[in-house]
Structure 1
């Protein structure tokens, strides 16, 4: 019987097919390796303001800006005095204090009238309440759905000219990194000094920290601390709790710091309860001082003792000025960037904290020319006191 010959092209075709399958599997694994299926935790307690309140605050901001634009008030006479964290029941928001410097009483009354008119479309939910004020100042609070969101001070008469002793400086921190290495790389690629604050136990913590070291970016540990609404609001693994004794705090802190090699400093993740506890914060700050690490107070509560206590203990420290993206609407982020620039120009410096959102990245890229115009963007270590 005649033996059947094998076709010469079968083996090469089989090898090519096998290599293609192997390549497909390898590429799929590599792509999936950079993605995370774990749920991303809540970034900050201040994200709990609720969509309705956040939307109202954004509309109030835009109404005020429209009134200021129509009045023709110079930017140098618009002073953001502070943006402070506030909380009530299940809501958290940022309270804005705004000083408007007017040439005389007539101008102040006219400007107030324009602000009232701009807020008229929101009258069902927003009201302006007059407050007691000394001398040549009109003081008003803006209340949205029963929540005070803004304080306006309209001063008039003689006031000293603003003299800039040196060029204003701002520092940017991106918090809560560890869940999206691709987005983290995009922030590293902004070509400005951005400090990267990495959560200690996120899926890609070490990978992001290694890439940041490779690029020469400043790394921080975003240290989880107990919030007031725990466990409904959970900072995630590695959290420091007020119920811990000194030994437990130091043990957990040591483990957290080990997760982010190369970190030069720390800022708190959440922590509205923990940062109000002077005794517990003393334990943490003493340990940071021994390790020659700086501390940035994220100011998730108006009663945080973190910054002042760190300064008392001789630890290089700073505190957050503005959260850039508690509201991810582009107009809201633009508004926060304006606040950051304004406060830097009047105070000499400001620190903005953002989070790993595509919206934040896009707005920062768009605003880089404005950020560089008139201010220096520096590493947060340049603003430590």
Structure 2
């Protein structure tokens, strides 16, 4: 029989030993090419090492880690454990991001999938090996409802980042937590990412998508297209994620055509869900299905309220900032999207001095999702 996962010295995860026993059949999507004898057990151990490292990095109370069950299963003549664990209290978003990275480093064939709000599965070559049950987040103390129009929170996202390093430096020291949405193929991407991280700025991936009028209207390299199959779309999104390390979300660059393509948006959003990223719908089309499909898939999602600089004059941009400020005061929160233009930067600086002090510029991740 399999020995359940145990804590070693109150810290490390134990490893499984056991004898062969017939168990439930593998899932239909398990790979037909089974790992060599002993290889599956080795990968299971590496999965547990990745989980241990991730929990330790989050300073989780490992003594609270519980083994719910350890069920022996058999696949292709090899016996392996399917283990259900109850995790200690931890920041689930940070843990997910760290665990994805640890698994990629230690067990490239392993995949972490959200199967419910507080349930994750780990599989190796499509073979489920672990189920992770997260404790519900501690309830937040109730706060009195804010008085109407008393205050508001406004998030500002600057698209098309990664080309102008000087503007990135100015935005980084603006005195407001403006998010950087970075092109995956921008020429100064690594340097701009470094600037954002050094100054505590949130990073998004500015993902090119097919606009109306394509190819005459060019969204740039590696766009998502309506002619692509789901696997091609997923590969493009995964590529973008790798090229912008540290990103917490994705928003669309152009995409007035692709964002209306339900099947394509579902494929793209499925990768965001697996990587724990949110989706900000830039709403380049009034007929976008991005927000609706994201909510169906359980992907945390936001949508743009105001474009700041369709007209590139400081006066026009100031007018748009005041419009966004008004929405934030009325509704409690708003999202504005701008671009790294000198006029935009100058207008934001001036607006920060003039704005209603009850309206706070905040990081987008602090806003309530749709």
Give the TM-score normalised by structure 1: 0.56
Deviation for aligned residue 1:292: 0.2
SS at match of 1:176: strand
Partner in structure 1 of residue 228 of structure 2: 244
Measure, in 2, the Cα distance between the counterparts of 1:356 and 1:384.
Answer: 26
Aligned with residue 351 of structure 2, among 356, 362, 367: 367
Partner in structure 2 of residue 137 of structure 1: none
Partner in structure 2 of residue 221 of structure 1: 205
Deviation for aligned residue 1:195: 0.7
User: Does the 8 Å CA contact 2:161/2:183 hold for their aligned counterparts?
Assistant: yes
Partner in structure 1 of residue 338 of structure 2: 354
Deviation for aligned residue 1:384: 3.9
Aligned with residue 378 of structure 1, among 356, 359, 362: 362
Confirm whether residue 265 of structure 1 aligns to residue 246 of structure 2: no
User: Does the 8 Å CA contact 1:170/1:350 hold for their aligned counterparts?
Assistant: yes
Partner in structure 2 of residue 195 of structure 1: 179
Give the TM-score normalised by structure 2: 0.59
Confirm whether residue 293 of structure 1 aligns to residue 277 of structure 2: yes
Mapping 1:124-273, distance limit 5 Å: 163-164=147-148, 167-273=151-257
User: Does the 8 Å CA contact 1:195/1:220 hold for their aligned counterparts?
Assistant: yes
User: Does the 8 Å CA contact 2:150/2:358 hold for their aligned counterparts?
Assistant: no
Deviation for aligned residue 1:279: 0.9
Between structure 1 and structure 2, the one with the greater Rg is: 1
RMSD: 1.5
In structure 2, runs of 5+ residues without a counterpart are 1-145
Measure, in 2, the Cα distance between the counterparts of 1:184 and 1:166.
Answer: 32
Instruction: Considering Cα pairs closer than 8 Å and 6+ residues apart, tell me whether 1 or 2 has the greater RCO.
Output: 1
User: Does the 8 Å CA contact 2:150/2:329 hold for their aligned counterparts?
Assistant: no
Measure, in 1, the Cα distance between the counterparts of 2:355 and 2:228.
Answer: 42
User: Does the 8 Å CA contact 1:206/1:261 hold for their aligned counterparts?
Assistant: no
Aligned residue pair count: 224
Mapping 1:94-113, distance limit 5 Å: none
Runs of 4+ in structure 1 off by over 4 angstroms are none
Deviation for aligned residue 1:217: 1.0
Measure, in 1, the Cα distance between the counterparts of 2:198 and 2:266.
Answer: 33
Measure, in 2, the Cα distance between the counterparts of 1:360 and 1:165.
Answer: 26
Measure, in 2, the Cα distance between the counterparts of 1:238 and 1:372.
Answer: 41
Larger helix share, 1 or 2:
1
User: Does the 8 Å CA contact 1:317/1:384 hold for their aligned counterparts?
Assistant: no
Mapping 1:25-36, distance limit 5 Å: none
